[in-house]
Amino acid sequence: MTVRWLTAFLDVPDQRFRAGADFWLEVTASTLSPTRGTRDEFATLVPTDGDAYLRVQRVAGPHGGCHLDLHVDDRPATARHAETLGASVERVLDDVIVMRSPAGLAFCVVGHHGESVRPAPTTLDGERSLVDVLCVDIPPDDYERETTFWAGLTGWELRDVDYPEYSYLAAPAGMPLLLLLQRLHDAAPGRTAGAHLDIATDDPEALAAAHERLGARVLRRHDRWITMTDPSGLPYCLVRRAPETERLT
């Protein structure tokens, strides 16, 4: 099984969908595709160059999040392999298999349609940036099981980074997203894994100011990154890293 491409879905609460979609269109310099789905709930963020790898979805209820699509050649075989590693199937549709990882993160197995070109960084208010990481936020008791699952499912090497609570999967060159795996310090009983996006930028402080002008809010400042929320309430991070980099160190 080979993962050909990754897509991150921003799952935005229905009542704040327009605000959330407009924000991500602006910060990624993208255009919105025509909506699709039985409730017009899905749309793609179409980049100015390269192949699309970000999408938005309206979701019911007050809380949103992120989930991941794995683009593969053989959906049933990939789903069966994921099940042997501890995942579960939630729904089988005509063109997608909806699953949950061992720690409860939603992901979908979808077909590959030739996507291969990683988009270039974009510029907002003079600051370069690129959405380039999906970070899986894992309750501490599930961390080893979840990291083993994603390494086994993708076949990518699991590597350490400078912070002991993180590791990442070394994706093939050209993949639009890296998968970062974060061990949460604590978690409420019954909490499942979630995910958020990271944006690489040369200057997180300057980019945070630009994002605030678009309706985002700063939650916390760290030594190398700033935790933000978008206008719909979804968390994400601005990380000091050259936007062209395809590896985390």
54-59 and 106-111 strand pairing: unpaired
Nearest to 32 by CA among 15, 55, 6: 55
Average pLDDT over residues 19-28: 97
Give Cβ neighbours of residue 127 (< 8 Å, ≥ 6 apart): 201, 202, 203, 206, 207, 210
On whether residue 86 sits in a domain, the answer given is yes
**Which amino acid would we find at residue 120?**
A
Residue 249 pLDDT exceeds 70:
no
Residue 9 pLDDT exceeds 90:
yes
Shared domain check, 83 and 151: no
pLDDT at residue 244, rounded to an integer: 87
CATH of the domain at 190: 3.10.180.10
Shared domain check, 130 and 216: yes
Range of 40's domain? 5-111
Shared domain check, 167 and 217: yes
Whole-model pTM above 0.75?
yes
79-99 pLDDT tens trace: 999 999 999 999 999 999 999
Q: Which two tokens stand for residue 61?
A: 């209820």
* Euclidean distance between CA atoms 108 and 69, whole angstroms: 5
Shared domain check, 232 and 166: yes
143-166 pLDDT tens trace: 999 999 999 999 999 999 888 899
- The values of phi and psi at residue 10, to 5°, are -90, 110
Shared domain check, 177 and 74: no
Q: How many CA atoms lie within 13 A of 189 on its CB side?
A: 0
The count of domains in the chain is: 2
Shared domain check, 76 and 133: no
Shared domain check, 185 and 217: yes
On whether residue 247 sits in a domain, the answer given is no
